[in-house]
């Protein structure tokens, strides 16, 4: 049997078993020897006898008898198994074997009696302690003559049997690091199968309104574990189900793990699913309830169940009695919702390991065992027989809620969940979206029900496909109706907000006053000062200059600039100072502390370039040195001031609480943007108790606290060359001597640059191999990042949630200099692959305006106006016109008002007008001036201001105007000859006629006006035929 046995694990565990036995607690104190006998029975999945074998040796050994005596251990097995056990029997030269009783190996005889071997074992039992009692696992009864003859031998000898199942289970319950690793892997596989297969399958069934039996669905889950894609890279041969998956719905619920899925069809209500996967003999368990269109009461009860689980996790700590933890949870339910106490499951879970359910360590009111660090439990709690008041059919009237996780016991902290499957209502609620009831009656068709996932994120993707079977006009009408509602809300809300903010004045920043010397004693006593030369005091950043024979100090901050020139025999040094009225540049305060004081504007010094007899140096040397040193000091001062300015307004962050646990979620080999130093450096990102820490290879540290993250965005590498974790912060943080509100961590996937000089062939093996490697790399990186994100979300109890951009809804645009793909997330619009990044929070957006929307233009601009009117509007240029409708649909689904127009507006002027007189702005109709469909009630002033803006931005000459008439679709009404045409068209457009009718009537109008004979009017007619559609487009 060429199988290796983990000797170190065997020695560690056998020592633990003997140590607990020697302590003599509970049943261990009553036994003189321990007997473990394992026969052959294919039907037995879990047994304490096989579990202890797996625990000690890593394998099950059938037809093997083990006798543990006080001073020795005997194994009776077949020849092959004896050869296998020799690895631990021979202890020579192994230090870890010290203290382990010696092993005697007995080879099983071919005949069934094995009397000689049995006698040796009985003799050993008699010689162990008092030799009267043996510890056995009384529930384990294996069939076969071999086992029967052994049991008869024990009975015949008159040995008393004591059941030691509970104490052995308690010994094995505390898991070593290796065992915990296997259980974590088992839990992650269970989570993967649930999320990627079961949940998706249920959503397909609900979406397609399929009829599927519970038993069939359970079978499909069992088949899914044979597919490697759901196993997170594990070998399928090492993975098996702990028990057949249990799926229940439609009023028939039994919240136990001993039941089987029935043959009833799945009902679209509360659907409970329990599944557990065993990896390399170690078990895990997961229970979730999916709810289809849950009523509010069901949602409230479910949210309460989540709170009860949180309470239970807080109670499960090292040293706590199981019964005390149970009682605390029961008290919590009594206090919060006493009517649900009778509905709560009778036990809240059990210990788990090699055996799925440890019967002696069940979480109930009677269990006196204490929890220990390293134990792994399957917690499962639910409410049964709940009544749905809204239920009409029989299967809708009763429902149950059931949740469960695999958890690990810690020293002082709450238990850690190992199955990080999201379970908030938005993650398990399936909300069916129906179109308006009238539409459904007309169509008599349920095909328009679409699956919604509860949050705005689902609405985003669903809205693109929700109007199956409807014409576009209907979608447009719905959008318009919704936008009208939003318009009225927008003006009311904005007026209220601005009224509240009224009176908040922006304080103008005064120029910093710098004092050179607080008293005369600080003045330097240098020879240059006495000799009436210019002296620079670097310590106090001051230039001491002779003025009318008096040494006068000027702080370096007062000097605006300095210049030096040589003219003939003289050198001139000119110093200009800051004075009121001189420009200080942007962002700098223009207010002086004492504006009424007398200011020196400039001083010029002259010195000779000729050396006089007896002088040690040329007189102009002083001016040259002064010029050089003043420049140096000025540069140093400005650098320091710039750094201080960066730090201004920085909100002091809490300190990062370091979690010393080695199992912290961690990602290695990441780059940070913006760079800490000039050269980019790799490092690792680690999640701690209250934030992330990035540590570069050089040792630089950047801390980002969870409570300072506004948006956490995960950009996968699908269609991108980098995979990114981006954090958009609430308050800026300082690193690399600059302040940053956007920090991202990324790693490159594949080659960003390609060598075009390299000869490439379609079937080049190296290229194909490289592509394959890149595909695998992408998959590996995506899995690593997703795993990190899930762990972080679990660690933060889902307070920090990562958003993934919806690539399907993305559109091209240029928010900065280059065009990039802008993608919506559930709460923002982002581009994080290019630098600088672009992040707009949707909750901060007041409205979106589309500029330059014209029939003959290929692209348009998007202007984002914020609720904070003092904030500069965001412009996205060059958005392709075919993205207009999808963007409108998306904004509409997010309840954001949008408008469109043909001109580019002067937004700086508009926003200043609004901020200066908000009341006047809203009295004149508010934002309705942007909407071409609004009645423009009282918006005359706005129209004037708009026309002014047009004058500023575009003012063509008379000649250009004539040319423009031929190309523009806006200026027809300005010509008298077009008045009939536009009048006839205006009323017809309002009635909503289709394109063919409009074109036909345009042709008729042309014939009546006798335009056919003139060449110029021919050209106009061509443009005119496109005018109705463009006007119609403008109205949309």
**DSSP letter for each residue of 374-419:** TBEEEEEEEEEEEE-TT--SHHHHEEEEEEEEEEE-BSSSPPEES-
Instruction: Kindly report, residue by residue over 115-165, the tens digit of the pLDDT.
Output: 888 899 999 999 988 889 999 999 998 888 888 888 888 998 889 999 999
Instruction: Kindly report, residue by residue over 797-847, the tens digit of the pLDDT.
Output: 888 899 999 998 999 999 998 999 999 999 999 999 998 999 999 999 999
662-691 in b/e form (b: 16+ CB < 10 A) is: eebbebeebbbbeebeeeeeebebbbbebb
Bridge partners, 839 (sequence order): 830
Element containing residue 239 per DSSP (H, E): strand 239-241
Peptide bond into 674 cis (omega under 30): yes
Length of the chain: 1036
| CB-side neighbour CA atoms (13 Å) of 479 | 24
Q: CA–CA separation, 635 vs 13, rounded Å? A: 69
Instruction: Kindly report, residue by residue over 955-990, the tens digit of the pLDDT.
Output: 444 344 344 344 434 333 333 334 343 333 443 334
Q: What is the pLDDT of residue 934?
A: 53
Structure tokens at 1019: 């050209």
Instruction: Kindly report, residue by residue over 442-485, the tens digit of the pLDDT.
Output: 443 333 333 333 333 444 344 434 433 334 456 778 888 888 88
Instruction: Kindly report, residue by residue over 591-633, the tens digit of the pLDDT.
Output: 677 777 888 999 999 999 888 887 778 888 999 999 999 999 9
3-state SS class at 772: helix
Q: Which residues contact 164 (CB under 8 A, 6 or more apart)?
A: 27, 28, 31, 34, 135, 136, 137
Phi, psi of 58 (to 5 degrees): 90, 0
Instruction: Kindly report, residue by residue over 916-933, the tens digit of the pLDDT.
Output: 888 888 888 888 888 766
Predicted confidence (pLDDT) at residue 168 exceeds the cutoff of 80 = yes
pLDDT, averaged across the chain: 82
Q: What is the pLDDT of residue 1?
A: 40
Instruction: Kindly report, residue by residue over 334-376, the tens digit of the pLDDT.
Output: 999 999 999 999 999 999 999 999 999 999 999 999 999 999 9
Pick from 315-329, 409-423, 632-646: least confident: 632-646
Predicted confidence (pLDDT) at residue 1032 exceeds the cutoff of 50 = no
Q: What is the pLDDT of residue 851?
A: 94
Geometric angle at alpha carbon 167, from 161 and 169, rounded to 5°? 115
| CB-CB contact of 925 with 934 (8 Å) | yes
Predicted confidence (pLDDT) at residue 291 exceeds the cutoff of 90 = yes
Predicted confidence (pLDDT) at residue 235 exceeds the cutoff of 50 = yes
3-state SS class at 977: helix
Sheet holding 103-107, edge to edge: 103-107, 73-77, 64-68, 33-38, 133-136, 160-163
């Amino acid at each position: 049997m060429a199988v290796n046995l983990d000797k170190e694990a065997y020695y560690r565990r056998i020592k633990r078993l003997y140590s607990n036995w020697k302590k003599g607690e509970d049943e261990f104190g009553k036994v003189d020897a321990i007997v473990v006998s394992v026969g052959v029975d294919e039907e037995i999945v879990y047994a304490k006898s096989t579990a202890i074998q797996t625990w000690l040796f890593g394998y099950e050994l059938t037809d093997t008898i083990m006798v543990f005596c006080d001073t020795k251990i005997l194994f009776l097995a077949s020849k092959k198994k004896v050869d296998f056990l020799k690895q631990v029997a021979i202890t020579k030269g192994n230090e870890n074997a010290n203290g382990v009783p010696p092993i005697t190996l007995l080879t099983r005889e071919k005949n069934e009696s094995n009397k000689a071997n049995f006698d040796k074992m009985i003799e050993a039992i008699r010689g162990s302690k008092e030799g009267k009692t043996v510890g056995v696992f009384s529930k384990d009864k294996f069939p076969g003559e071999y086992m029967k003859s052994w049991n008869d031998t024990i009975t015949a000898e008159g040995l008393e049997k004591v059941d030691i199942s509970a104490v052995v289970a308690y010994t094995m319950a505390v898991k070593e690091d290796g065992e915990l690793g296997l259980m974590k892997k088992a839990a992650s596989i269970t989570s993967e199968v649930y999320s990627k297969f079961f949940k998706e399958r249920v959503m397909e069934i609900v979406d397609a309104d399929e009829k599927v039996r519970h038993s069939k669905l359970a079978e499909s889950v069992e088949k899914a574990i044979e597919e490697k894609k759901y196993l997170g890279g594990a070998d399928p041969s090492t993975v098996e189900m702990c028990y057949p998956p249990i799926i229940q719905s439609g009023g028939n619920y039994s919240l136990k793990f001993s039941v089987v899925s029935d043959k009833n069809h799945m009902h679209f209500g509360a659907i409970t699913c329990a599944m557990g996967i065993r990896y390399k003999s170690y078990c895990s368990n997961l229970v979730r309830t999916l709810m289809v269109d849950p009523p509010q009461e069901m949602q409230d009860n479910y949210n309460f169940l989540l709170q009860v689980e949180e309470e239970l996790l807080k109670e499960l700590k090292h040293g706590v009695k199981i019964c005390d933890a149970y009682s605390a949870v029961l008290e919590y339910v009594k206090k919060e919702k006493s009517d649900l106490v009778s509905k709560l499951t009778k036990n809240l879970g059990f210990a788990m390991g090699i055996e799925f359910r440890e019967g002696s360590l069940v979480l109930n009111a009677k269990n006196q065992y204490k929890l220990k660090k390293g134990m792994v439990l399957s917690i499962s709690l639910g409410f049964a027989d709940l009544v749905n008041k809204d239920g009409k059919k029989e299967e809708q009237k009763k429902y149950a809620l059931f949740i469960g996780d695999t958890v690990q016991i810690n020293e002082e902290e709450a238990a850690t969940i190992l199955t990080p499957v999201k379970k908030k209502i938005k993650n398990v609620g399936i909300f069916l979206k129906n179109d308006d009831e009238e539409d459904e009656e007309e169509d008599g068709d349920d095909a328009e029900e679409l699956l919604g996932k509860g949050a705005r994120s689902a609405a985003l993707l669903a809205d693109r496909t929700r109007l199956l079977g409807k014409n576009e006009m209907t979608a447009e009408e719905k959008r318009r109706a919704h936008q009208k509602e939003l318009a009225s809300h927008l003006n009311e809300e904005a007026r209220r907000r601005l009224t509240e903010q009224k009176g908040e004045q922006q304080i103008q920043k005064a120029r910093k006053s710098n004092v050179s010397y607080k008293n005369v004693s600080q003045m330097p006593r240098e020879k240059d000062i006495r000799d009436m030369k210019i002296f620079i005091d670097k310590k106090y950043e001051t230039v001491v200059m002779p003025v009318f024979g008096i040494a006068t100090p000027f702080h370096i901050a007062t000097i605006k600039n300095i210049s030096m020139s040589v003219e003939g025999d003289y050198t001139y040094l000119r110093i200009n100072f800051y004075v009121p009225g001189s420009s200080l540049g942007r962002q700098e305060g223009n207010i002086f502390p004492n504006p009424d004081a007398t200011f020196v504007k400039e001083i010029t010094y002259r010195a000779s370039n000729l050396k006089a007899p007896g002088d040690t140096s040329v007189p102009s040397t002083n001016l040259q040195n002064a010029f050089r040193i003043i420049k140096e000091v000025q540069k140093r001062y400005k650098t320091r001031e710039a750094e201080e300015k960066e730090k201004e307004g920085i909100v002091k962050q809490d300190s990062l609480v370091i979690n010393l646990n080695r199992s912290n979620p961690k990602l290695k080999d990441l780059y940070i943007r913006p760079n800490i130093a000039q050269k980019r450096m790799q490092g690792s990102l680690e999640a701690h108790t209250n934030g992330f820490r990035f540590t570069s290879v050089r040792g630089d540290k950047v801390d980002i606290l969870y409570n300072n993250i506004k948006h956490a965005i995960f950009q996968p590498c699908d269609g991108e060359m980098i995979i990114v974790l981006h954090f958009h912060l609430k308050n800026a943080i300082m690193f690399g001597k600059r302040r940053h509100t956007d920090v991202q961590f990324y790693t490159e996937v594949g080659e960003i640059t390609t060598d075009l000089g390299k000869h490439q062939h379609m079937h080049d093996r190296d290229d194909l191999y490289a592509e394959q490697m890149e595909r695998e790399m992408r998959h590996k990186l995506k899995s690593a990042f997703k795993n990190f994100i899930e762990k972080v979300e679990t660690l933060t109890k889902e307070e920090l949630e990562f958003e993934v951009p919806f690539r399907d809804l993305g559109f091209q645009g240029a928010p900065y200099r280059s065009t990039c793909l802008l993608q919506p997330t559930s709460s923002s619009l982002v581009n994080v692959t290019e630098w600088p990044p672009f992040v707009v929070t949707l909750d901060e957006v007041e409205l979106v305006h589309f500029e330059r929307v014209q029939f003959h233009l290929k692209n348009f601009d998007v202007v984002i106006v914020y609720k904070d009117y003092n904030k500069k509007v965001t412009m996205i240029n060059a958005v392709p016109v075919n993205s207009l409708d999808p963007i409108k649909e998306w904004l509409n689904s997010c309840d954001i008002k949008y408008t469109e127009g043909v001109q580019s507006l002067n937004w700086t002027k508009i926003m200043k007008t609004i901020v200066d007189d908000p009341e006047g702005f809203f009295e004149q109709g508010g934002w309705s001036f942007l909407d071409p469909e609004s009645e423009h009630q009282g918006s005359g002033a706005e129209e004037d201001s708009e026309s002014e803006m047009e004058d500023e931005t575009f003012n063509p000459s008379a000649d250009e105007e004539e040319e423009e008439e031929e190309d523009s679709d806006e200026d027809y009404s300005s010509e008298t000859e077009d008045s009939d045409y536009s009048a006839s068209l205006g009323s017809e457009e309002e009635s909503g006629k289709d394109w063919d009718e409009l074109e036909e009537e345009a042709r008729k109008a042309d014939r009546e006006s006798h335009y056919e004979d003139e060449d110029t009017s021919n050209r106009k007619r061509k443009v005119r035929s496109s005018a109705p559609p463009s006007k119609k487009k403008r109205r949309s």
